[in-house]
Amino acid sequence: MASELVEQRRLRETIHREVLPSGLRAFVLPKPGFQTRYATFATRYGSNDQNFVDADGRRHDTPAGIAHFLEHKLFEEEGGNVSERFSALGAMANAYTNYTATTYLFSTATEFPQALELLLRFVQHPYFTPESVAKEQGIIGQELRMYLDDPRVAVFQNLMEALYHEHPVRVEIGGTVESIERITVDDLYLCHRTFYSPSNMVFFATGDVDPAGVFDAVHRLVPSERSAPVERLRPKEPEAVRSELVRRAMPVGVPLIDIGFKDDPARENPLEREIEMEILLDCLFGTSSDIYQTLYEEGLVSEHFAASYFAGDDFAASVLGGPTPDPDRLLARLLALLGERCRAGLAREAVERSRRKSVGEFVALFNSPEAVAHSFTEYALRGLDLFDALDVLDALRPEDIERRLQEHFSSPRTSASIVDREGS
């Protein structure tokens, strides 16, 4: 089967795509002139997928942190670690796990075809032993301890626990030192079998690569059988937040705050919703907004203050925050200024400025093959197309952004998470 070409004319980028008989979706974005050749192989399996019903109808409740643990362990192979074989090819392999996906990747300036073959093979060939699982518990234990000392991780984690009652997005992606001790070899094989089937996965390659050669390798190395779909169990999440304010003290130099506005998951057109929400957040809290400039002059925020829309298929929230000398005052002022803005409405020029800014940033994204690979893959795993973003931005209307403002912020469901300076 030949691959299909999708052209983004204005960006002068062409993507080659193909759906394999197994259901794997594969994409190649040629970027001639770049030294880095880059490939990702990702599965729609993240920390949110702890509880599921497998193809045989059996329910499984797995330990927190298992998706991330599996990501680490997949690098293990009989007699060694596959990273070493990437190194020998001059390639750097890596992987990361978030709430909804696990992504494996490599970059290289040299032996691309060999590294590509290695990536496609190792992700599909698990090899776990009790000894290697025990060894990894020590390494990941230190990774988790490193995060325990990171106040940015703590302030966000506490916010998730405050916004959500039941949804698994409130659980740490890596689990805890205790939960990962319960992970067994059998659990790992089960999760690999359940979630690493080609129909649940997306492949993406970019850089100065030959699409035909890449698709050929994918056809050759990815098995063609289709697997039965898995049912991901999600508890019912109440509309209201669990707690309006959480705080803890840590040895930090400057206090931190994250403020969350809980939203209902999108029922339709999630790409449109997410782009419109990002535009709205930029209009409200971006560097050229009244709110940001007012808070900046009052000394409550700095350039590290940021707002973003945090969303997946079954969760959504606006999250904003950063370091601040006075988290309580920042929270009070921000909510007051936001209330005023809701009453006054958005200026049309503000929306147009944000739209232009987003267009420029979208163009700049294509400077980085890695960044494109990540964004594209993240959307593709959810059945969305990054290339559509420019059309959404072109079609954007100020009244849609105004409507989002009223829906999301006029009677908000808000949690705040604060990290105070220890001893103050």
Partner 1 sequence: MGFAQTRLSDGAHLFFWPTQKFKTTTVRVLLREPLAAGAAAGAILPMVLRRGTRRLPEPIELARALDSLYGTDLRGDVIKLAEDQVLIFHVEAANAAYLGGEDPLPGAIEMLGDVLLDPLVEHGGLKQSFVAQEKENLLRRVQGIYSDKAHYAQMRLIESMCAGEDYAIPRLGRLEEIEAITPAALYERWKEVLTRAPIDVYMVGDLTRERAEEEATRLLSRLGRRAPQAPRSPSRHPAPGAPRRVTDHQAVAQGKLAFGFTTDRRAGASDYPALVMMNGIYGGFSHSKLFQEVRERHSLAYYAYSQIDGLKGLMFVQSGIEFQDRGQAEEIILAQLEAMRRGEFREQEMRDTLAAIESQILQSSDAPSESIMTDFELRAASRPTDPSERIAALRAVTADEIAKAAQGVALDTVYFLDGQEGA
Q: In what order do the strands lie in the sheet with 231-232?
A: 59-61, 51-53, 231-232
Give φ, ψ of 315 to 5 degrees. -155, 155
Query: Closest by alpha carbon to 29, among 8, 47, 55?
Result: 8
Interface with partner 1 includes 151 (CB under 8 A)?
yes
Q: Do residues 193 and 43 make contact, with C-beta atoms less than 8 angstroms apart?
A: no
Give the shortest CB-105-to-partner 1 separation in angstroms.
Answer: 14
* Tokens read off for 211: 């699409």
Give the shortest CB-357-to-partner 1 separation in angstroms.
Answer: 3
Interface with partner 1 includes 88 (CB under 8 A)?
yes
Expressed in percent and rounded to 5, the helix, strand and coil fractions of the chain are: 45, 25, 35
Q: Which residue has the tokens 């959810």?
A: 382
Transcribe 358-422 into DSSP letters: HHHHHHHHTT-HHHHHHHHHHHHHTT--GGGHHHHHHH--HHHHHHHHHHHHSS--EEEEEEEET
Number of residues that bind partner 1 (CB under 8 A): 67
Give the shortest CB-42-to-partner 1 separation in angstroms.
Answer: 21
Q: Do residues 247 and 422 make contact, with C-beta atoms less than 8 angstroms apart?
A: no
* Tokens read off for 53: 């019903």
Give the shortest CB-123-to-partner 1 separation in angstroms.
Answer: 18
Site map for partner 1, 153-192, x if CB under 8 A?
Answer: ----------------------------------------
Comparison of 225 and 352: residue with beta carbon closer to partner 1: 352
Stretch binding partner 1 (CB under 8 A), from 165-173, 212-220, 252-260, 337-345:
252-260
Task: Identify the residue among 4, 84, 210, 399 touching partner 1 (CB under 8 A).
Answer: 84
**How remote is the C-alpha of 152 from its chain's centroid?**
16
Comparison of 272 and 282: residue with beta carbon closer to partner 1: 282
Give the shortest CB-390-to-partner 1 separation in angstroms.
Answer: 10
Site map for partner 1, 390-419, x if CB under 8 A?
Answer: ------------------------------
Q: Is 361 in the active site?
A: no
How far, in Å, CA of 165 to CA of 238, rounded?
A: 7
Interface with partner 1 includes 14 (CB under 8 A)?
no
Query: Closest by alpha carbon to 376, among 1, 2, 3, 8?
Result: 8
Comparison of 231 and 352: residue with beta carbon closer to partner 1: 352
Residues 6+ apart with CB under 8 A from 407: none
Comparison of 332 and 363: residue with beta carbon closer to partner 1: 363
How far, in Å, CA of 96 to CA of 105, rounded?
A: 9
Interface with partner 1 includes 57 (CB under 8 A)?
no
Task: Identify the residue among 325, 339, 345, 383 touching partner 1 (CB under 8 A).
Answer: 325
Interface with partner 1 includes 127 (CB under 8 A)?
no
Name the pairing type of β-strands 245-250 and 414-421.
parallel
Residue from 71, 136, 237, 272 carrying the catalytic annotation? 71
Site map for partner 1, 348-377, x if CB under 8 A?
Answer: -----xx-xxxxxx-xx-xxxx--------
Give the shortest CB-146-to-partner 1 separation in angstroms.
Answer: 5
Task: Identify the residue among 5, 19, 129, 149 touching partner 1 (CB under 8 A).
Answer: 149
Other CB atoms within 10 Å distance of the CB of residue 297: 9
Comparison of 83 and 102: residue with beta carbon closer to partner 1: 83
How far, in Å, CA of 201 to CA of 377, rounded?
A: 9
The residues that are catalytic are 71
Which residues form the interface with partner 1 (CB under 8 A)? 10-12, 33-36, 81, 83-84, 87-92, 107-110, 135-140, 142-143, 145-146, 148-151, 250-254, 256, 286-288, 290, 293, 296-297, 299, 302-303, 323, 325, 353-354, 356-361, 363-364, 366-369, 422
